[in-house]
Structure 1
């Protein structure tokens, strides 16, 4: 009984749903003996605990994950009146508390961190709760979510998840949609063409640069096809020429190759426009489509209110004539659309007579001005999948509601039907993965372009210095869940993936950020000039600062012990330092905690470093309507740096700057080197002098 109650208290913290009424309802159904046990556990002091839960629920409700809500509802609806009922509830609770459930499907480190933050706030507001046993248990369940915890949690099932990224496809099972099943002759023809192999596709729209979210689809489709000895197409969904450009087409293909994938075929939706157009004609002739004259606003209102279009019963021949005239360029944009005739009162809004064709007088990047009418995505996508004999059509969860329309179209055209599966969209903390919003930031001048290293576009990640191996490792670790599009993955996991790779592969060098020149007096006649870092120097020291301060001894690594004699400031910044060499004895050097990195003035060259941090101050900027007001103003810092001149630097070379992090040579202009910071060191490993 105590076990059950303890976990009932824990449920709302994990699931962010209003669980207090359900607990009260459950208590009403307890047997007398169970109620006695419960009364022994509850005191007036515990009312504060219920208030605590209610507070956490209120704070965390927006993060609700649908699948967990379903499980919670099952528990709510079950009366606990017998041992069997008790076992049932415990079984469900154990399922949602099971580490594998979280590690494989829901990596909730961000939500855990929010809970910890709420607990801290409550502790400050109600210090008396710190002696409450129930409160202490909750604090123990949700310690501070440190970077190390994030890494540990997400790494526990790493090997298993690597397999799942492609093996999961073999476990997908059809859902209960009768229309998705193919006729025997269709299946026979399909298997004859595919030879029983899996056929997948990656179908991006060429209206912007790919971002990290697309890599989950790239990895799932291309990597799975390679591992399962199947095929994968790169198909451009070029059905909207208004937003599509050749530069995006080229960039997408380049990124697919960057990941080491070779598409079986590169195709375009526009390759199939003649066949798709004929499909539309066939549906008109069968009275399953009609030409509509409603404007966008009226159509939206009619569909919302489940009202039929005034043109729904238009004569078939008239619809055929107008539709052909639309393609001939005889009608302006927005005057006519072609709509399916399905069910204007359907519960699923996507089936309320959707538009499948519209007029666009825009130059197409591939077909030029050949076409005046263009199919909508929902109409073209399923037909292209069928033509290419795709076995598994994999897409993100926001398309789940469109699955019925997908199968309605193929069923009524008597075409082969692929199996459709949806997975969660990838969201990463402190950044944005929306092409529309990224475009908005570029337009506003917040970022410099699609390849700005602060963005999680593939162009930005490449410029930042990320490798395809590190990005794939990240995707493998987060796997392919169906937990809902609300899931947010900590960006620290991505950083850890690239850091682990670079620790093994790049050379370490001494580089001095924000260099300050110091004169080291070796004897009365010899002065040695070296650079040290600005943050290794202070006018006033402290017990935990091991750098240079007046009248203090420190060690220049691999050189000797020095005594700081004078520090000169200019505009509150260190301009010049004079020190004296005290000893070069190894034992004397080892005694000092202050070990400074340095470079000889004659053995280094000047360069520039772009230091990047998180683009947004909040973990989930997508929740903020005016997201541009949440930009981290310090997301880009530019510093001078001194690097050894004995090394050769080429664009794309990566280095570890000791005590600072990992960097890539971004460009070399007139002999001057520009570095981009890839990622910092793990906090515990950063050899700070503070």
Structure 2
């Protein structure tokens, strides 16, 4: 594989963070890609290899991408300049939309004219005023091949031509060079800067390692580390070591070792060796003793607070000059785990006056007479991670130690320990830690969510754990491409989730089969008066990928539509029913603001689909084989409502308690074939992953289990706004909890208003039932009148309007903010647990998971009653 570096064009752009394998045939240089490279300050000539003997495209980890616009998109995202990729969510969304359209032109599904005349440009010719983005580059590459469009869009055409940054790109392509404004001549600088160069790396000789602590589940940050190590191991045909860092017996857990092995299997990361730091405990004991004998380390019994203060003030410990005999004597006490030994630690002598705090005689051994999961009670002393890491790296033959930039201050310490012990020094290569918005990555905080029951478990789709994101529909390939696109960047930034999901979409879009499901609320029947024989028809599961196969649909004289689509239809319209053809609308019947039924005739002879409304539908045949199935779609939102929680802010104030929504749908018959883990697209709704398969009615319960789908975000901004949520800047439970409760002055008033509150709730149910039968009936009108009267009485006695979900609270006993906050939290927990109960019962009502979920729900309701003084009532 040809390893290509993107070189800086001048000394102002020296970087080491962007590297690709881009191949092209002479005379077929990818124009958009060349322009994107030039926009980032890099040299297209040195970044694109021209040859007749290679397959054109961008190669990333063995995966070849040939679409010029897609390559340009990846380059721009890797360079990461906001002016070029979008400053805001709106800009990024708009740019993504334009790039997708341009990609479809390259793939042959749209014409350049369709895209250009459909895009709105500013008066400056570009999408956004006075700025060229990657979307403008993509559009420009389309009109560069079309003289007619160059005239129609001369503003965009000229603004790119007049930008001297792109001269090298035009020269390489061999077009428009004479029209490009030449930059001022200056002394040519040496081309430098490359994506990642592992010094001393040789094919077949690179050894890397991934060393997590076996004390929890892997999250997406760990996934970046694992996949980066795997990437370099594969690029250099080397070796990957998976090492469990078990230097802390209190945290090490064999259960989590199995968990991590399973998580790595989910990521398709297969190491060549599995090792433990504890495999080298005997060797490290000898090395520590060697340092003590040589006077390079000392035993220190200074208490923790004093030691911390001395290190801050750069004061040498009183024990720094202990004799060798005294050090060895105390060392023996430590190894025995005696009371005297437990007061001591071993520190290595480096430089207690150093500006780098990591060099101020760091601790290398501690006395911990605790049982170790692998070695039992054999050892009473354990090395620190900082001491063990360089030793084990060297002994295991690691050539390149990949670490996040947060360890940068410890690099000198790492090398000092190697030198002090006469060990071979691996090369340390740093990369940025992966930080994601609207979530928590801390093991402690993630554990809190699980223990509090605010999530379903460690695989909850809202969590950033490997299991969580994969359950939500993230593919390993999508995650891998996202990580590789980050490259070796050392810039510490907060990444938005839309970036990672947009990579995932590109992986699943070409292979996800398409199905139809309709939201169950007020489904509208469409009656076709044209004589139709009920028939089964085979249609493609994917409009562009025949390899995905076909599915069965049915034609009949009665079709079902969603209410939202029906509201857009008018008499006389021609509507395209996807996978069938055009249908002429005769009449649309409505009741108030709801469409009740539609009458139409077939018009299949009309093949003009360009300006028609497109709808998805399901036929109603009366046949059990062709019957619809119930579908529940889970829509998850961010677990933290604020993108970035400040250091001085309490993260629990920004917990999004309403982070899941369940939508009931009616699914087409073919959805019976969807299996757990399958990723599909519900047409015109988005991508989903199957969390639980549909099951026919059980012979024991007589209840069918619905198909449970989880919505997969696709990187668009709309994903984050589908669920209603409070402002990012407003804390949730603690500061707003009192707004969820109505405060009353006396116990008598409380009794009356509580009674009214319950009567209003009950009357509301009556109104809903009567309106479902006949919204205009006398019974409905009478029920509504009574409901309004009850609400009027409530306002008179409570002093405020009735609000569903905000029950009154007695001031005398429950007026404190803490209590009201607790009620709010309990209310949200009960709602979430109720949804979990429904899901588990749908799978198996007699399972242990169902019984456990029900028991927890009852316990939460009991707590609610104890705190509020009344039974929990769902809203």
- Shorter chain as denominator, the TM-score bin is 0.5 to 0.7
Equivalent position SS for 1:281:
helix
Residue number in structure 2 paired with 1:678: 712
**Structure 1: distance between partners of 2:332 and 2:249:** 20
Residue number in structure 2 paired with 1:493: 499
After TM superposition, give the deviation of residue 597 of structure 1 in Å: 1.9
Q: Aligned match of 1:648 in 673, 677, 685? A: 673
After TM superposition, give the deviation of residue 375 of structure 1 in Å: 1.2
Query: Retained in 2: the 8 A contact 1:394–1:422?
Result: yes
After TM superposition, give the deviation of residue 635 of structure 1 in Å: 3.5
Query: Retained in 1: the 8 A contact 2:334–2:342?
Result: no
**Structure 1: distance between partners of 2:431 and 2:212:** 16
Q: Please tell me whether residue 365 in structure 1 is matched to residue 373 in structure 2.
A: yes
**Structure 1: distance between partners of 2:83 and 2:639:** 17
Residue number in structure 1 paired with 2:19: none
Matches within 5 A, 1:509-520: 509-520=515-526
Q: Which shows bigger deviation, 365-374 or 654-663?
A: 365-374
Q: Please tell me whether residue 598 in structure 1 is matched to residue 541 in structure 2.
A: no
**Structure 2: distance between partners of 1:524 and 1:198:** 71
Query: Retained in 1: the 8 A contact 2:206–2:399?
Result: yes
Query: Retained in 2: the 8 A contact 1:531–1:599?
Result: yes
Residue number in structure 2 paired with 1:88: none
| TM-score when normalising by structure 1 | 0.67
Q: Please tell me whether residue 296 in structure 1 is matched to residue 304 in structure 2.
A: yes
After TM superposition, give the deviation of residue 525 of structure 1 in Å: 13
Residue number in structure 2 paired with 1:75: none
Decide whether aligned partners of structure 1 residues 283 and 556 sit closer, same or farther in structure 2, where only a CA change above 3 A counts.
Answer: same
Equivalent position SS for 1:141:
coil
After TM superposition, give the deviation of residue 683 of structure 1 in Å: 8.2
Q: Please tell me whether residue 343 in structure 1 is matched to residue 362 in structure 2.
A: no
Residue number in structure 1 paired with 2:508: 502
**Structure 2: distance between partners of 1:346 and 1:95:** 43
Query: Retained in 2: the 8 A contact 1:231–1:264?
Result: yes
After TM superposition, give the deviation of residue 392 of structure 1 in Å: 0.9
**Structure 1: distance between partners of 2:203 and 2:531:** 85
After TM superposition, give the deviation of residue 334 of structure 1 in Å: 6.1
Residue number in structure 2 paired with 1:44: none
Q: Please tell me whether residue 98 in structure 1 is matched to residue 132 in structure 2.
A: no
After TM superposition, give the deviation of residue 651 of structure 1 in Å: 0.9
Query: Retained in 1: the 8 A contact 2:437–2:643?
Result: yes
Residue number in structure 2 paired with 1:658: 683
**Structure 1: distance between partners of 2:434 and 2:470:** 19
Residue number in structure 2 paired with 1:585: 603
Q: Please tell me whether residue 217 in structure 1 is matched to residue 225 in structure 2.
A: yes
Q: Aligned match of 1:324 in 332, 347, 365? A: 332
**Structure 2: distance between partners of 1:534 and 1:238:** 58
Matches within 5 A, 1:269-288: 269-288=277-296
Decide whether aligned partners of structure 1 residues 432 and 509 sit closer, same or farther in structure 2, where only a CA change above 3 A counts.
Answer: same
Equivalent position SS for 2:343:
coil
**Structure 1: distance between partners of 2:128 and 2:575:** 46
After TM superposition, give the deviation of residue 367 of structure 1 in Å: 2.6
Gaps of 5+ in 2: 1-11, 17-36, 45-74, 92-122, 143-168, 170-193, 533-555, 696-703, 723-875
Decide whether aligned partners of structure 1 residues 279 and 112 sit closer, same or farther in structure 2, where only a CA change above 3 A counts.
Answer: same
**Structure 1: distance between partners of 2:128 and 2:506:** 33
Query: Retained in 1: the 8 A contact 2:247–2:382?
Result: yes
Q: Please tell me whether residue 423 in structure 1 is matched to residue 431 in structure 2.
A: yes
**Structure 1: distance between partners of 2:89 and 2:457:** 36
Query: Retained in 2: the 8 A contact 1:396–1:423?
Result: yes
Deviations 1:553-589 (A, max 9, x none): 96655374363313478xxxx6xx5314232223679
**Structure 2: distance between partners of 1:469 and 1:303:** 46
Residue number in structure 1 paired with 2:320: 312
Decide whether aligned partners of structure 1 residues 470 and 389 sit closer, same or farther in structure 2, where only a CA change above 3 A counts.
Answer: same
Decide whether aligned partners of structure 1 residues 619 and 219 sit closer, same or farther in structure 2, where only a CA change above 3 A counts.
Answer: same
Gaps of 5+ in 1: 1-14, 16-64, 69-93, 119-132, 158-166, 175-190, 539-545
Decide whether aligned partners of structure 1 residues 630 and 473 sit closer, same or farther in structure 2, where only a CA change above 3 A counts.
Answer: same
Matches within 5 A, 1:455-466: 455-466=463-474
Query: Retained in 1: the 8 A contact 2:299–2:331?
Result: yes
| TM-score when normalising by structure 2 | 0.54
Q: Which shows bigger deviation, 376-385 or 433-442?
A: 433-442
Query: Retained in 2: the 8 A contact 1:661–1:681?
Result: no
Query: Retained in 1: the 8 A contact 2:527–2:559?
Result: no
Decide whether aligned partners of structure 1 residues 519 and 241 sit closer, same or farther in structure 2, where only a CA change above 3 A counts.
Answer: same
Decide whether aligned partners of structure 1 residues 395 and 311 sit closer, same or farther in structure 2, where only a CA change above 3 A counts.
Answer: same
Residue number in structure 2 paired with 1:87: none
Q: Please tell me whether residue 610 in structure 1 is matched to residue 634 in structure 2.
A: yes
Question: As a proportion of its length, which structure holds more helix?
Answer: 1
Matches within 5 A, 1:382-421: 382-421=390-429
Query: Retained in 2: the 8 A contact 1:551–1:563?
Result: yes
Query: Retained in 2: the 8 A contact 1:339–1:356?
Result: yes
**Structure 1: distance between partners of 2:285 and 2:692:** 48
**Structure 1: distance between partners of 2:304 and 2:410:** 20
After TM superposition, give the deviation of residue 662 of structure 1 in Å: 0.8
Q: Which shows bigger deviation, 611-620 or 248-257?
A: 611-620
Q: Which shows bigger deviation, 645-654 or 270-279?
A: 645-654
Q: Tell me the matched-pair count.
A: 532
Query: Retained in 1: the 8 A contact 2:561–2:617?
Result: yes
Decide whether aligned partners of structure 1 residues 408 and 506 sit closer, same or farther in structure 2, where only a CA change above 3 A counts.
Answer: same
Decide whether aligned partners of structure 1 residues 172 and 589 sit closer, same or farther in structure 2, where only a CA change above 3 A counts.
Answer: closer
**Structure 2: distance between partners of 1:115 and 1:510:** 33
Q: Please tell me whether residue 141 in structure 1 is matched to residue 131 in structure 2.
A: yes
Q: Name which structure has the greater RCO, CA cutoff 8 Å, separation 6+.
A: 1
Residue number in structure 1 paired with 2:661: 637
After TM superposition, give the deviation of residue 114 of structure 1 in Å: 5.4
Query: Retained in 1: the 8 A contact 2:315–2:353?
Result: yes
Decide whether aligned partners of structure 1 residues 327 and 492 sit closer, same or farther in structure 2, where only a CA change above 3 A counts.
Answer: same
**Structure 1: distance between partners of 2:341 and 2:531:** 85
**Structure 2: distance between partners of 1:209 and 1:368:** 23
After TM superposition, give the deviation of residue 499 of structure 1 in Å: 0.9
After TM superposition, give the deviation of residue 436 of structure 1 in Å: 4.0
After TM superposition, give the deviation of residue 394 of structure 1 in Å: 1.4
After TM superposition, give the deviation of residue 489 of structure 1 in Å: 3.4
**Structure 2: distance between partners of 1:106 and 1:204:** 29
**Structure 1: distance between partners of 2:43 and 2:132:** 18
Q: Please tell me whether residue 254 in structure 1 is matched to residue 280 in structure 2.
A: no
Structural RMSD (CA): 4.4
